[in-house]
Amino acid sequence: MIKTNVKITFLGHSAFKLVSPAGKTILIDPFLSQNPQTPDSQKKQQNIDYILLTHGHEDHVGDTLEIAKETGAKVLGIVELIALLKSDGLDENLAIEMNKGGTVKLDDFSVSMTNANHSSSLGGRYAGEPAGLVLTFDSDITVYHAGDTNIMPDFDIYSTLYKPDICMIPIGDLYTMGDKEAALAASMIKAPVFIPIHYGTFPILSGSPEVFKSETEKLTSGKSSVRILQPGDSF
């Protein structure tokens, strides 16, 4: 069991809320108000410090602009996506742009941007490349949100470089990896804990978390465990 002072809440689809040991509240890919999985109590967010985006698709950008306007949250993403959000009304004082391979220090954690094998657009406009995000909390855990992605050899590198403790990984199929492909990816990443995401939100996202759990624990000889969270669950 991983010991941590980071609180992690699954909000459905690929969205998470994390509270750092210093009390900073972070949203990742806040697709909330239009997300059929997000509990009603979580669809509106207050007191947010940071919004982190993996890529520009609407089921990930979600309510970013509204939340940033209401809370003053700073928004981090790849350069081209941040440029689009600024053109759509994001206050440039709230914008944090970066690119793959870069790391940004924010309060008591840092964010590193990794590769993801997918696509990215916002309202039909090119939004840069998709990414994964590694959050390294000072004297605490490292969390890797893989974003929307296919399996790729980069996972071996990220396992060595970042040594993530917890990895959120897509399993839904059709637009990302399916359950068995994601399990093979998990065996490359080697995190102690995996959280399956991007499945079940809509019927076409048919990946099975139970199949992912079984395959992952088999391929890793039990060295990695899978936590199947329901929207609203925290740990």
CA distance 121 to 127: 5
Q: Taking residues 151-158, what's their average pLDDT? A: 98
Residue 2 pLDDT greater than 90, yes or no = no
Strands (E), 55-165: 74-78, 95-98, 103-106, 109-115, 121-122, 125-126, 131-137, 142-145
Domain boundary assignment for the chain:
7-226
- Residue 203: count of CB within 10 angstroms of its CB: 6
Cross-strand bridge partners of residue 201: none
Q: Which pTM was predicted? A: 0.98
pLDDT in tens, 69-123: 999 999 999 999 999 999 999 999 999 999 999 999 999 999 999 999 999 999 9
> Is the CB of residue 170 less than 8 Å from the CB of residue 177?
yes
| Res 186: pLDDT | 98
> Is the CB of residue 18 less than 8 Å from the CB of residue 38?
no
Which tokens hold the place of 170?
């897509």
What CATH architecture does domain 7-226 belong to?
Answer: 4-Layer Sandwich (3.60)
Q: Taking residues 135-140, what's their average pLDDT? A: 97
pLDDT bin (cut points 50, 70, 90) of residue 41 is very high
Give the position of tokens 């459905």: 12
pLDDT in tens, 18-40: 999 999 999 999 999 999 999 99
| Contact residues for 26 (Cβ-Cβ < 8 A; gap 6+) | 17, 18, 19, 20, 48, 49, 50, 51, 52, 109, 135
